[in-house]
């Protein structure tokens, strides 16, 4: 998105400006991650730069693997203007530990699956090392 200011846009425009699905925006509003936007005189939701910025924050946080509750916690610190770098760092360090644990799990899965696939002959015989390994696990 360019540096031009957004004065008032509809949900579809917000979706296009951020790359977020309109239904996801609706869901974020429903669960309180995104604030309810004001309505125009015709009753349409009216989003602005603050909504664009917040939604990009949410999407970036989600892309980094933060859960919705973790995003809610980060936004709570921002919304209440009580965040300190130390609090945000602590939350990020906990999340980083979770990411590292997932990577370790995936590395272990990759190793076992790779070893199992390597034992497979891949021929037309009914015996299969992969199936045997899954039954023997």
- From residue 100, alpha-carbon distances to 82, 104, 106 in Å are 28, 6, 10
Identify the domain containing residue 112 by its residue range: 85-137
Statement to judge: residues 28 and 56 lie in one domain? yes
Any long-range contacts for 14-19 (C-beta under 8 Å, 24+ apart)?
A: 14/47, 14/51, 14/52, 14/55, 17/52, 18/52, 18/55, 18/56, 18/59, 19/59
Say how many domains are in the chain: 2
Residues 56-70: tens digit of each pLDDT: 999 999 999 999 999
**Is 129 strand, coil or helix?**
helix
Phi, psi (deg, nearest 5) at residue 55: -65, -40
What is the pTM (predicted TM-score) of this model? 0.76
Statement to judge: residues 2 and 61 lie in one domain? yes
Statement to judge: residues 95 and 53 lie in one domain? no
Statement to judge: residues 107 and 122 lie in one domain? yes
Does 129 have pLDDT greater than 70?
yes
Statement to judge: residues 74 and 33 lie in one domain? yes
Let me know the angle formed at the C-alpha of 41 by 39 and 45, rounded to the nearest 5 degrees.
25
Cα Rg, the chain, nearest whole Å? 23
CATH of the domain at 66: 1.10.1660.10
Burial of 127 per CB tally in 10 Å (0-12, 13-18, 19+): exposed
- Chain mean pLDDT for the chain: 89
**Residue 2: its pLDDT value, please?**
46
Statement to judge: residues 89 and 79 lie in one domain? no
Statement to judge: residues 132 and 100 lie in one domain? yes
Statement to judge: residues 96 and 48 lie in one domain? no
Statement to judge: residues 55 and 120 lie in one domain? no
Statement to judge: residues 17 and 46 lie in one domain? yes
Residues 10-60: tens digit of each pLDDT: 999 999 999 999 999 999 999 999 998 998 888 889 999 999 999 999 999
Q: Which residue among 39, 58, 83 closes a domain?
A: 83
Statement to judge: residues 63 and 2 lie in one domain? yes
Contact predicate 38/46, CB 8 Å: yes
Statement to judge: residues 110 and 93 lie in one domain? yes
Does 5 have pLDDT greater than 70?
no
């Amino acid at each position: 998105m360019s540096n031009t200011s957004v004065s008032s846009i509809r949900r579809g425009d917000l979706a296009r400006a951020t790359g977020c699905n309109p239904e996801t925006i609706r869901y974020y509003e429903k669960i309180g991650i995104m604030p309810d936007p004001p309505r125009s005189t015709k009753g349409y939701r009216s989003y602005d730069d603050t909504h664009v910025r917040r939604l990009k924050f949410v999407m970036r946080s989600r892309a980094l693997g933060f859960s919705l509750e973790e995003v809610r916690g980060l936004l709570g610190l921002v919304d209440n203007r009580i965040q300190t770098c130390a609090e945000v760092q602590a939350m990020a360090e906990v999340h980083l530990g979770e990411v590292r644990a997932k990577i370790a799990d995936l590395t272990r899965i990759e190793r076992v699956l790779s070893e199992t696939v390597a034992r497979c002959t891949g021929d037309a015989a009914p015996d299969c090392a992969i199936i045997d390994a899954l039954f023997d696990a």
